[in-house]
């Protein structure tokens, strides 16, 4: 009974915690500019994420190691440090974007500009980290994030042509603006396959004391939770394609993004959008702060757990205190969260091999996984998607930067 | 060597500023946003502060992108006509923001109708630019 409850909660929290500033912004921009043409990128990213999440839970349940623990142990500290630099830098940018997303949600609700929210929002995030427990952060924020299901309601209300939508699941090139198309594809992949999610998930499995009996639960949570989450991202893209594209509206700011929901759900759309952004970004900010602290603490061999008093793992608490504080600074100076979001999502794609390739090696190591190591399907799907994301990122990021 | 040349060409092409067609798309995007927003405000589905701030943002963006576009207007269109359409749209956006503050729905509705006419004029100009490229 306890496991069934955990299973249901796991799926619900995966769905509620799936959307964040990156997935909303990239999907909205894609839908507004290219209609359904980039649905395939969400499908590909979600498929890869299902495998990665399942793998990270399996590693923790079987080997009792988090990903970071195992990378450091298997590859040594110098290599781990290299992975840490790349991954944490990108995760930090994503954290800035998430805090900015909360600030923007509060701006459109209150009229007070987002730089003014940077400090109060960061303080609340920090306070929850300081006082909260792992399950509060994992479940509380994600349950609030269920408001993002309103995007599915909005998509259904707009009555999409399902045949056209289905055709978007296969890649097709647009007639013009191809560099923007590829940049958006890369950003969508980066938003879907966020390595911090795998670090967070494997650390959570250790915090929740998973063992081999959790393997079936892990598989179901990964498959259903991520599939439903991917459907939410697709719903955002569909709403933007139907509500914004016919009117020629591109999503350059959050103010414009909010319009997609006011078209689909006139009465409540605006508030549902604002609350969706608020809760989704809040949950993601907590998860990323935790993931970065896990990364440092597990890598350097410090005490770590969100379930103990900060005095018992002072260095763990110090890391999130420091990074949340630093993340507020660019926002206080008015740096545009949407620009940071797009760039950090694309950079996530570019740095995926750094975090995921060592992880793939671990998942094939009999010392860690024994008979539970990866089969060829997991290796092929993850390997191919990571390769595609990396190549597209390396080609499209310079084009986008220099194209302005 | 061929690869190096190809990379250089790609970089040079990508360094170019936005084309007039892209600038017109951005202008139409902001005008379209203001129209959707305006209709929402008239239906009482968007709050006053958000509506006013977004209309002001649309106005500022329109002026900025329009000024860039008018520095070197495309030869295929009459720049006076473009300037006129941009000025009228900008004035209407600024007026709409004021009317939201005054909560003057009838007046707002009238200006919104005028903005929709501006949108048509800008769309025609945009089509001309696009067909010439």
Domain ranges (residues) in chain A: 2-403
**pLDDT, tens digit, 9 for 90 and up, residues B106-127:** 999 999 999 999 999 999 999 8
Q: Tell if the CB–CB gap between B50 and A256 is shorter than 8 Å.
A: no
Report how far apart, in Å, the C-alpha atoms of A342 and of each of A176, A237, A347 are: 20, 15, 9
Kindly write down the DSSP assignment for every residue of B34-94, as one continuous string: HHHHHHHHHTT-S-HHHHHHHHHHHHHHHHHHHHHHHHS--TTS-HHHHHHHHHHHHHHHH
Nearest CA in chain A to B54: A255
* DSSP annotation of A2: H
| pLDDT of B105 above 90 | yes
Determine the residue among B33, B34, B97 to mutate to test chain A binding: the one whose Cβ has the most chain A Cβ atoms within 10 Å. B33
Indicate the average pLDDT of chain A: 90
Are A403 and B15 an interchain contact pair (Cβ–Cβ within 8 Å)?
yes
pLDDT band at A320 (very low <50, low <70, confident <90, very high): very high
Per residue in A221-275, pLDDT tens? Answer: 899 888 998 999 999 999 999 999 999 999 999 999 999 999 899 989 999 999 9
pLDDT for A107 equals 95
Q: Are A262 and B45 in contact (CB under 8 A)?
A: yes
- Give CA separation, B132 vs B24, B68, B76, B123, B127, in Å: 13, 19, 7, 14, 9
State how far residue A275 is from chain B, nearest Cα, in angstroms: 14
CA distance B8 to B56: 40
This prediction has a pTM of 0.91
- Going by CATH, does the domain composed of A2-403 fall within 1.20.1740.10? yes
Nearest-CA neighbor of A152 among A225, A267, A257, A229? A229
Is the pLDDT confidence value at B14 over 60? no
Write the CB contacts of A283 (distance below 8 Å, at least 6 apart in sequence): A16, A17, A20, A141, A142, A144, A145
ipTM for the whole predicted complex goes beyond 0.95: no
Secondary structure (3-state) at A210: coil
> If pLDDT is split at 50, 70 and 90, which confidence band does A376 have?
very high
Nearest to A261 by CA among A282, A236, A279: A236
pLDDT tens digits, A326-360: 999 999 999 988 889 888 888 888 888 888 899 99
B32, B45, B53 member nearest A111 (Cβ): B53
Q: Is any Cβ of chain B less than 8 angstroms from the Cβ of A116?
A: no
Tell me which residue in B25, B40, B50 faces A111 most closely, judged by beta carbons: B50
Banded model confidence at residue A391, pLDDT cuts 50, 70, 90 = confident
Q: Tell me how far apart the 2 most distant CA atoms of chain A are, in Å.
A: 59
Measure A69 CA to nearest chain B CA, in Å. 41
């Amino acid at each position: 009974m306890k496991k069934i409850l955990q299973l249901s909660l796991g799926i619900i929290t995966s769905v509620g915690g799936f959307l964040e500033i990156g997935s909303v912004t990239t999907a909205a921009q894609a839908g507004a500019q290219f209609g359904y043409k980039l649905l395939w990128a969400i499908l590909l990213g979600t498929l890869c994420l299902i495998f990665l999440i399942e793998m990270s839970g399996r590693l923790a349940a079987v080997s009792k190691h988090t990903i970071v623990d195992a990378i450091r142990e298997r590859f040594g500290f110098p290599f781990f440090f290299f992975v840490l630099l790349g991954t944490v830098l990108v995760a930090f940018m994503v954290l800035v974007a998430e805090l900015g997303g909360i600030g923007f949600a509060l701006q459109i609700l209150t009229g007070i500009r987002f730089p003014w929210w940077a400090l109060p929002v960061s303080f609340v995030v920090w306070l929850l980290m300081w006082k909260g427990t792992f399950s509060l952060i994992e479940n509380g924020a994600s349950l609030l994030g269920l408001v993002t299901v309103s995007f599915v309601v909005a998509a259904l209300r707009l009555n999409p042509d399902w045949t056209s939508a289905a055709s978007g699941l296969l890649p097709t090139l647009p007639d013009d603006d191809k560099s923007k198309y590829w940049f958006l594809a890369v950003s969508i992949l980066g938003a879907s396959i966020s390595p911090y999610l795998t670090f967070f998930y494997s650390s959570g499995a250790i915090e929740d004391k998973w063992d081999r009996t959790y393997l079936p639960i892990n598989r179901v949570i990964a498959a259903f939770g991520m599939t439903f989450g991917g459907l939410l991202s697709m719903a955002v893209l569909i709403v933007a394609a139907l509500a914004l594209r016919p009117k020629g509206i591109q999503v350059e700011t959050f103010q414009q993004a909010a319009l997609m929901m006011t078209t689909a759900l006139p009465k409540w759309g605006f508030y549902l959008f604002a609350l969706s952004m608020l809760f989704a970004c809040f949950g993601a900010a907590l998860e990323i702060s935790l993931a970065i602290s896990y990364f440092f603490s597990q890598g350097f061999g410090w005490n770590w757990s969100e379930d103990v008093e900060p005095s018992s793992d002072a260095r763990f608490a110090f890391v999130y205190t420091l990074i949340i504080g630093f993340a507020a600074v660019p926002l206080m100076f008015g740096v545009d969260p949407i620009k940071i979001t797009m760039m950090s999502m694309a950079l996530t794609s570019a740095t995926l091999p750094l975090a995921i390739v060592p992880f793939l090696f671990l998942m094939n190591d009999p010392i860690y996984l024994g008979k539970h190591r990866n089969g060829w399907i997991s290796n092929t799907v993850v390997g191919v998607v990571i390769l595609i994301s990396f190549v597209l990122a390396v080609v499209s990021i310079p084009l986008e930067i220099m194209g302005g | 060597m061929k690869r190096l040349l190809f990379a250089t060409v790609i970089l040079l092409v990508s360094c170019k500023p936005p084309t007039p067609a892209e600038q017109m798309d951005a202008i139409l995007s902001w005008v379209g946003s203001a129209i959707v927003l305006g209709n929402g405000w008239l239906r009482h589905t968007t709050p006053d502060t958000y509506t006013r701030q977004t209309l002001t943002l649309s106005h500022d963006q329109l002026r900025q992108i329009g000024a860039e576009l008018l520095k070197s207007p495309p030869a295929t269109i009459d720049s006076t006509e473009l300037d006129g359409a941009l000025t009228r749209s900008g004035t209407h956006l600024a007026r709409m923001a004021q009317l939201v503050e005054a909560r003057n729905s009838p007046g707002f509705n009238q200006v919104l109708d005028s903005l929709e006419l501006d949108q048509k004029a800008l769309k025609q100009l945009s089509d001309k630019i696009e067909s010439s490229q």
